[in-house]
Amino acid sequence: MIKLHGFMPAWNLVDPSPYVTKAMILFKMANIPYDFEMADLESVSKHKAPYITLESGEVIQDSTFIRQYLEQEHGADFSGGYGAKELGFAFAVERLCENHLNNILINSRWCKQDNFDKGPKMFFMRVPEEMRENVINEVRGMVTAGQNYQGIGRHNDDEIFELGKMDVDAISDALGDNDFILGANPCGYDASIYATIAGISTTFFECRTGEYARQNPRLMAYIDRMKNKYF
């Protein structure tokens, strides 16, 4: 059986990583069974989750390539019955979530000390105590540098909030009165959109963008709908 590697339920989420959550939903959408195992990030070349291990021992990394594998090797159909133009629109919303709003999510968890202390810091508890502080500083330094390279980390809190509101409003407008991003049926892109909105809006962390998202009844109903369907 395929092994999907991620983390664990935490922070009022099925997994701390939106990308792991996305992969879990894709398996459920495709009705493909899998075993879930804790990720060992040092064992894979990209040092991130999710990744899957096939019965052959082959490892496939990144949620997008996992989706591609499910489509090409298992015949999974994530179209939801929609056409190319509609799916192109949904793909653009997914890119908004993964390439922008998720960076605001990362910033709120890793760059805000109170949030880091009660959240991502847990990932380092297995590091020997005498090494832990240095490892934490090194990894947080890499995350902070990544935030600066991407651009989010160069903004102040008010500016990040303004950008976050734009993202949330755009996703809400794209959803409209639909049950799912394109209509009455979910498609594969809903996996990522749900995972991102759920991740940013968790009440576990203090996040102005998350609080703003929680005030949007349309998005909160969407989260409930997806969670009830797949979890």
Q: What was the pLDDT predicted at 26?
A: 98
- Structural domains in the chain? 2-74 (3.40.30.10), 84-230 (1.20.1050)
Give pLDDT tens digits along the chain (231 positions).
999 999 999 999 999 999 999 999 999 999 999 999 999 998 999 999 999 999 999 999 999 999 999 999 999 999 999 999 999 999 999 999 999 999 999 999 999 999 999 999 988 988 999 999 999 999 999 999 999 889 999 999 999 999 999 999 999 999 999 999 999 999 999 999 999 999 999 999 999 999 999 999 999 999 999 999 999
pLDDT (0 to 100) of residue 126: 86
pLDDT recorded at residue 125: 87
Helix axes 189-201 and 102-110, enclosed angle (nearest 10)? 30
Q: How far apart are CA 20 and CA 12, in angstroms?
A: 15
Rounded to 5°, the CA angle 173-175-180 comes to 175
Reported pTM: 0.95
* DSSP classification of residue 48: -
Report cis status (omega within 30 of 0) of the bond before 50: yes
d(CA 94, CA 211): 21
Closest to 224 in 3D by CA, of 201, 206, 208: 201
**17 bridge partner residues:** none
Spell out the SS3 assignment of 117-137: HHCHHHHHCCCCHHHHHHHHH
110-119 own/partner pairs: CB under 8 Å, 24+ apart: 110/140, 110/143, 110/144, 110/147, 111/143, 111/144, 111/147, 111/153, 112/205, 112/206, 114/206, 115/205, 115/206, 115/207, 116/140, 118/204, 118/205, 119/11, 119/16, 119/204, 119/205
